[in-house]
Structure 1
Amino acid sequence: MARKCTPTYSIKFSLNILAWQKHKIEKKFKIARIVYNSCLGEALKRHKSVKAAKEYHTLLKEPKSKERDRRLSEIRLANGFSEYGLHDFVRLVQHKFKENIGSLEAQKLATRAFQTVEKLHFGKARKVHFKKFDDDISVENKSNQTGLRYIDGNILWGDKPTKKCPNPKNWLCMPIAPKANDEYARIALMDNSKYVRILKREIRGKVRYFVQLIQEGYPPTKRNRKIANDETKRVGIDIGSSTIAVYSENTVELRELAPKCNTDFPKLRRIQRSIDRSKRSTNTHNFNKDGTFKKGRLEWNNSNSYKKLRKKRKELYRRIAVQRKISHGKLANDILALGSDIRVETMRFQSLQKRTKKTTRNRNNGKINSKKRFGKSIANHAPAMLLTIIDRKLSYQGQSLKKIDTYATKASQFNHKTGKYTKKQLTERWNAFEKLLIQRDLYSAFLIGNTNETLNSVDVDLCNAKWFNFVQLHNREIARLKQSPSKTLRWFVA
């Protein structure tokens, strides 16, 4: 019988606990790390045994078919490479630590380990990483009935006190309460809790603990948030590596993605160099005379200054990530306020991150051009994250982000006046329409917003009907961008 799938959202609270409770949580997290690493190691063994099978290699070379996929699946199951196969393995591991980690919590750790190795197995990842002693980690349950659970304003974990055992060693009862003026949290706590997740995070050099309640239903609507929730209102967005162009009936905008989240690369480089110098000075035996690493399994001695520098670098990245997430959330809300029929081109940002294979030379000095593309820009601005947030927020309205066929529509090349496609260089930022100059990204957003219902071509009649209104909004936006303090935005209209 298929599992019942219901809408889900999460709400996060900080855990303000006593010192003795922290010691118990630390013990549980230490055991969780051991269980996870054990499952990861076992999953890797099973992955290697599957890859070593001759029949498996032979089948991979054959053309794709249902029979081929069935045989591949049988080989994986025969070697125990499956989620439930790893659940059987973790049962024996969990039995040694049953006082601190429940069976369902151990199964969730096994599932995460299997999903990690599964990405490696299917070529979606290059390698896997075991959890180190000081790594961030989380533990979650599969239900809210036993083990780690939320009941009546308290997070409970472990065996309940009884008459025979009034003070169990593994028992934790941690109260949580929303702030006095947090109406959103109060309404969210009224919903049924599916399961609980506890997270360990290092913030500004201090270890803190948080709890996430996975609630059933849709999140409450915030009082200060405007939601269109109108499928008749179309919104076209043309997203790039650092900017996003937005088009609707009343708005035409070009905005920078996460403008305050640019990584301080000079500062980061200084930290990286300090880390490298510290590593080399305390581990001279691990390097060759030319400065390269020696081959084989090496033992590393890390100084206290090295550890401090690593924490400093980690904190720098954490702050940027938090700011980026907040910025994307606000931008997603602004877009959702314009309409619920949101359309975007299908994009492969991973391909944009890769270095180009073609070698080119600079026309002026004859030097070979750099093969770098948009890696740093995508890392800073995270455009895929914005689309994920928009899609998640749309799902609360029972809708989803509509992705048009990029290769069929060719929005960046199409001209709705002539019906022709013209390839353009990335440096060409304007489209000419007789005496009019239209910014390329804004025009692409306009075309994307006026695609047909099959999402594979531009509706020319609709474009013609809305053209005059778009030109007026476009000219107003260009005037604003030329006065913008952002160098990035000014470059797009230069």
Structure 2
Amino acid sequence: MKNRTASYVVQYELLTTTRDRKSLEKKFNSAKSIYNACLNECLKRLDRLKKNDEYSSLLKEKSSKKRNRKLKEIELSLNYSEYDMHKYVKDIRKLYSKHIGSLEAQKLATRSFQTAEKLHYHIADKVNFKNRYSDMSVENKSNNTGLRLKDNIVLWNDLKLKIKEKRNDIYNIQSRNDKTKYIRILKKKIRRKTRYFIQVIKEGIPPKKRNYGQETVGLDIGTSSVAIVSDSCVKLEKLSNTENEYKKLRRLDRKLERSKRINNPKNYNDDGTVKKGSKRWIYSNRYIKLKQKRKDLYRKLASKRKEYQEILANKIISLGVDIKVETMRFNALQKRAKETTINKKNGKINKKKRFGKSLINNSPSQLLTIIDRKLHYVGSYLKRIDTFEVKASQFNHKTKEFVKKKLSQRWNVIDNIKIQRDLYSAFLIQNVCDDLKSINVNLCNEKYDKFVNLHDIEINRLKETKEMRWLIA
């Protein structure tokens, strides 16, 4: 059995010389080669598995223990398993034994198998091999041999690398008391400069930074905003602070497309569409630099968004650790609409795109993952209510009736008082019973007057700051 103890990550930057960087590049290139070779072999074995007649017929049967056991037996007979990849990587590692240890190679083999499994279970449509521009990470299985951290120095075969520590960082000082499970070394391209980091995976829970509240918190999460309601707080917050950065990205995309078309005129039809079939693409040095700039911008956006959501999660947990949220299938929201509809105003066919772009830009699922991770540190978890039973967006606690509303309808009218729809849903979610399937109407009636007062304060704040005007219009 694998070790399932609690763990957390502490990250440091590495201090490197020119010689160190050359040696690290050789190691990362070796790691990429091993990963690509393992992934290629995984895909070959997966292809053989899919072509197996018995396996294909079993997949069509109803899921059962007997059927699943047979599927596993066929997979093992065709050497398609994580441990078979560990055997396969032994011979490949011999070519790179100066740079990559046996346990590190096994981890790369595991990663390649997990990538192939995404294709196997239709989680991904395609998989990518690592090229020379790809970021890469290498990790060990333990902190005893090979890549390891000892006395604040990273040891990796012939390399000895010091870590860059912040002075008087109490969090890092306290984390030293916990056992190091293993370390991971990363290569990142930041502002066209290659930098190296280590992530130290520690055993236990992270040092406590702040106090946690005792209130029950209800969250109504959307594709671009989250409504937060507790006994002392009513807030409507954005899910990210990166909306102004996407103009730069669009300009870069247009520059890249122009450069690509100028250098490859034979690959396009007269109407501007790309010709079918295999083609040879020529990329200019300017195109490569622009692509690296675009990649760095995506890195900034992801980093900025995650930092914002970490802070937002801390604010939510400071209210209380009993947090409830609707069960949402975000992957369903990003799919295109199936039905073709016509716009009544102009008679044109409506676009079938839905919330894909908003989900990519705002990452609502990431916020919930962060909250759940932080709650586990204090022995709690994110409670997901039954969306179809509760129907928070339709329920009126005064009349006890369910009324369907259009997505464009942003306000509820309750006792002649206008209440913002998302905030009211979060209020109802806060007062869901312990079974997570029904709303406690008596509790709603007790807390409603205070909620309305806090609601009005928040709406006035949003009107003054002109934030999220589309939600309060």
Q: TM-score range by the shorter chain?
A: over 0.9
* Displacement of 1:285: 4.1
Is contact 2:245-2:301 (8 Å) kept? no
- 2:73 aligns with 74
Q: How far apart, CA to CA, are the structure 1 residues paired with 2:267 and 2:94?
A: 40
8 Å Cα contact 1:263/1:380 also seen in 2: no
- Which residue in 2 is equivalent to 1:227? 212
Distance in 1 (CA, whole Å) between partners of 2:338 and 2:294 is 31
Aligned positions of 1:44-83 closer than 5 A? 44-83=43-82
Q: Note the residue ranges of structure 1 that are not aligned, 5 or more in a row.
A: 159-170
Q: Distance in 2 between matches of 1:91 and 1:374?
A: 45
| Structure 2 Cα separation of the partners of residues 430 and 273 of structure 1 | 39
Match of 2:126 in 1: 127
Matching residue of 1:243: 225
Which segment is superposed worse, 60-69 or 401-410?
Answer: 60-69
Secondary structure of the equivalent of 1:15?
Answer: strand
What SS class does the counterpart of residue 319 from structure 2 fall into? coil
Q: Which residue of 2 aligns with 1:491?
A: 470
Structure 1 stretch displaced more, 203-212 or 58-67 = 58-67
Structure 2 CA distance, aligned partners of 1:77 and 1:48?
A: 14
Q: Given that residues 153 and 177 in structure 1 are in contact (C-alpha distance below 8 angstroms), is that contact kept between their aligned partners in structure 2?
A: no
SS in 1 for 2:110: helix
Query: Which residue of structure 1 lines up, in the alignment, with residue 111 of structure 2?
Result: 112
**CA shift digits 1:360-388 (9 cap, x unpaired):** 22221111122121122111111111000
Cross-structure match for 1:163 = none
- RMSD over equivalenced CA pairs, Å: 1.4
Give the structure 2 partner of residue 30 of structure 1: 29
> Which residue in the other structure is 1:218 paired with?
205
Task: Using the TM superposition, give the Cα deviation of residue 289 of structure 1 relative to its aligned residue in structure 2, in angstroms.
Answer: 4.5
CA-to-aligned-CA distance 1:168-206 (integer Å, 9 cap, x gap): xxx011112422121111111221110010000000011
Whether the 8 Å CA contact 1:226–1:333 is kept in 2: the answer is no
Task: State the SS of the aligned residue for 1:425.
Answer: coil
Once the two structures are TM-superposed, the CA of residue 87 in structure 1 deviates from its matched residue by 0.8
Equivalent in the alignment of 2:170: 183
SS at match of 2:279: coil
Give 1:416's aligned residue: 397
Count of matched residue pairs: 473
1:300 corresponds to which of 281, 288, 296 = 281
1:442 matches 2:423: yes
Partner of 2:348: 367
Please show how residues 67-466 of structure 1 align to structure 2 within 5 Å.
67-158=66-157, 171-222=158-209, 225-228=210-213, 230=214, 233-258=215-240, 260-262=241-243, 264-466=245-447
CA distance in 2, matches of 1:324, 1:266: 16
Cα distance in 1, alignment partners of residues 207 and 303 from structure 2: 22
**Letter of the 2:370 counterpart:** I
Given residue 299 of structure 1, which amino acid in structure 2 is its aligned partner?
A: R
What is the CA deviation profile of residues 192-244 of structure 1, one whole-angstrom value per residue up to 9, with x for unaligned ones? 1100100000000111101110011111122xx3422x4xx210000001110
Q: Is the 8 A contact 2:15 2:164 kept in 1?
A: no
Task: Give 1:351 shift.
Answer: 1.2
TM-score (structure 2 length as normaliser)? 0.97
Q: Is the 8 A contact 1:102 1:147 kept in 2?
A: yes
Moved more, 71-80 or 234-243: 71-80
Superposition deviation, residue 299 in structure 1 = 3.1
What's the % identity of the aligned pairs? 52
For the 8 Å contact 1:51–1:57, the answer to whether it is kept is: yes
The answer as to whether partners of 1:155 and 1:174 remain within 8 angstroms in 2 is: yes
Q: TM-score, normalised by structure 1?
A: 0.93
SS at match of 1:470: helix
AA of the residue aligned to 2:426? A
Distance 1:284 1:493 in 2: 49
Following TM superposition, by how much is the alpha carbon of 1:110 offset from its aligned partner in structure 2, in angstroms?
Answer: 0.7
CA distance in 2, matches of 1:457, 1:449: 11
| Cα distance in structure 2, aligned partners of 1:430 and 1:482 | 15
Which runs of 5 or more residues in structure 2 are unaligned? none
Instruction: Give the distance between the partners of 1:98 and 1:491, measured in 2 at CA.
Output: 59
Distance 1:27 1:292 in 2: 40
